[in-house]
């Protein structure tokens, strides 16, 4: 299919769908942790052999999963268009103006964000996502991210996340305490240098790139920059030693040759990792969007404190309708309930009916969101960079 044919196909689908495109689920495997099996798949569908287990679902994704083994399109969302097999990434490349709006497409190469659900039965190893200065060296984007923990799902065996390091390590310049764990690569004792925070359903965290963290087992809906860079700093996890390749995955060969394990410590954002007020500066509770409150429902900001991405939780009451108006292109995940979104049938947990992409031209006009069920219709909205410039910012605490 040529680019012109793809563009014509997308234009026709947008016209038929009133500016809205339906998306297929994108499943992602990981081989370093067991699955939590809370994504709604059949039990036997989680095991994918050499690739590991299905542990993540990527939403409205234009990002390819950077796995050791896997299909070339792993992580990429596909448009649900009959008779055409087009990824959302391809759609944005050939019809970015139709999807993102002409003005936004002139200043942004793509959607610039990645939403996902991740689902692990063990805590993710202590790691960082490289800051821009380091990610660019390996041809990748940095990865700032944010988390939301849904309220109606089991939290798993370890519902707490380690963030950063004890403040004295930075205050007293003792970062080398972490180095021996990277060199020896034999256990999980690097976590003794960090603090753990309880994961509370209905709340979340905002995490800049370069910050050390080991996410707990709560099912997490994450919104992040468009990237899959990381460096694992914890050798032993879930009872096995993980490959040390993951420590250096996004370190240049030159830095590894000259700096060794220290090269990864050089990539850490020590200021934020050692912040004694880390919780106060990065914990996020839902913030009511006062200007969109209606009789039929209400929205809350759940991803904020940055303009690199943002996101809302929309709740529409049973039998009611909500008029949705936003500032630009976004994608949605229907989490619970059933109804219609701009005339499209939607239902939480029904694959193929729980993901939509809302084009710019549709987003900026009133969209009718109808709850046709008997319980709340819960929808998550995910926006990319520079769309919501007035999101709440957490007041900064310092000494």
One domain, residues 279 and 292? no
Residues 305, 278: Cα–Cα separation, whole Å:
14
Q: Is 347 helix (H, G, I), strand (E, B) or coil?
A: strand
Supply the Cα-derived Rg of the chain in whole angstroms. Answer: 21
One domain, residues 67 and 154? yes
225 DSSP β-pair partners? 113
Residue 8 parent element (H or E): helix 3-16
One domain, residues 255 and 298? no
Domain that residue 316 falls in: 287-383
pTM of the model: 0.96
Residues 324, 385: Cα–Cα separation, whole Å:
20
Is residue 205 domain-resident? yes
Is residue 252 domain-resident? yes
Per-residue pLDDT of the chain (399 residues; tens, 9 = 90+): 899 999 999 999 999 999 999 999 999 999 889 999 999 999 999 999 999 999 999 999 999 998 889 999 999 999 999 999 999 999 999 999 999 999 999 999 999 999 999 999 999 999 999 999 999 999 999 999 999 999 999 999 999 999 999 999 999 999 999 999 999 999 999 999 999 999 999 999 999 999 999 999 999 999 999 998 999 999 999 999 999 999 999 999 999 999 999 999 999 999 999 999 999 999 999 999 999 999 999 999 999 999 999 999 999 999 999 999 999 999 999 999 999 999 999 999 999 999 999 999 999 999 999 999 999 999 999 999 999 999 999 999 987
Which domain CATH number covers 228?
2.60.120.10
One domain, residues 193 and 307? no
pLDDT in tens, 96-116: 999 999 999 999 999 999 999
One domain, residues 64 and 146? yes
Q: Is 57 helix (H, G, I), strand (E, B) or coil?
A: strand
Is residue 360 domain-resident? yes
Is residue 3 domain-resident? no
**Could you say which of 284, 318, 339 is where a domain stops?**
284
Contacts of 214 (CB under 8 A, 6+ apart): 123, 124, 125, 126, 127, 161, 162, 191, 194, 234
Q: Domain tally for the chain? A: 2
Is residue 52 domain-resident? yes
Is residue 361 domain-resident? yes
Strand order in the sheet with 330-336: 20-22, 355-358, 330-336, 377-383, 310-316, 297-303, 287-288
pLDDT in tens, 209-218: 999 999 999 9
Q: How far is CA 306 from the centre of its chain?
A: 14
Is residue 141 domain-resident? yes
Residue 397: how many other CB atoms lie within 10 Å: 12
Q: How far apart are the first and last CA of the chain?
A: 59
Specify the length of the chain in residues: 399
């Amino acid at each position: 299919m040529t680019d012109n044919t793809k563009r014509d196909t997308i234009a026709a689908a947008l016209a038929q769908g009133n500016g809205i495109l339906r998306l297929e689920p994108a499943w992602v495997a990981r081989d370093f942790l067991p699955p939590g099996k809370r994504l709604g798949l059949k039990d036997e569908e989680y095991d994918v052999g050499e690739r590991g287990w299905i542990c993540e679902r990527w939403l409205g994704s234009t990002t390819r999963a950077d796995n050791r083994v896997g299909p070339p399109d792993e992580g990429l969302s596909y448009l649900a268009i009959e008779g055409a097999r087009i990824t959302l990434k391809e759609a944005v490349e050939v019809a970015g103006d139709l999807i993102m709006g002409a003005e936004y497409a002139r200043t942004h190469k793509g959607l610039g964000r990645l939403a996902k659900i991740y689902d692990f039965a063990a805590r993710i190893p202590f790691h960082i996502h490289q800051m821009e200065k380091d990610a660019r060296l390996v041809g990748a984007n940095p990865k700032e991210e944010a988390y939301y923990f849904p309220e109606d799902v089991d939290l798993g065996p370890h519902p707490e996340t380690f963030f950063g390091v004890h403040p004295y390590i930075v205050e007293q310049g003792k970062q080398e305490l972490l180095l021996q764990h990277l060199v020896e690569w034999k256990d999980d004792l690097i976590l003794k240098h960090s603090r753990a925070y309880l994961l509370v359903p209905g709340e979340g965290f905002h995490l800049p790139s370069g910050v050390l963290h080991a996410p707990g087992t709560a099912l997490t809906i994450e919104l992040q920059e468009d990237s899959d860079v990381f460096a694992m700093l914890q050798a032993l996890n879930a009872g096995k030693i993980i490959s040390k390749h993951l420590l250096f995955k996004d370190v240049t060969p030159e830095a590894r040759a000259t700096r060794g394990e220290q090269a990864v410590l050089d990539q850490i954002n020590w200021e934020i990792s050692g912040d004694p007020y880390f919780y106060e500066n990065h914990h996020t509770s839902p913030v009511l969007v006062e200007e969109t409150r209606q009789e039929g429902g209400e929205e809350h900001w759940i991803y904020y404190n940055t303009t690199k991405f943002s996101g809302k939780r929309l709740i529409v009451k049973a039998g009611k309708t909500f008029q949705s108006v936003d500032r630009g292109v976004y994608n949605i995940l229907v989490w619970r309930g059933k109804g219609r979104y701009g005339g499209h049938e939607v239902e939480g947990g029904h694959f193929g009916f729980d993901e939509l992409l809302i084009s710019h031209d549709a987003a900026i006009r009133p969209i009718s969101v109808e709850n046709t069920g008997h319980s709340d219709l819960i929808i998550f909205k995910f926006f990319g960079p520079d769309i919501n410039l007035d999101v709440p910012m957490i007041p900064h605490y310092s000494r």
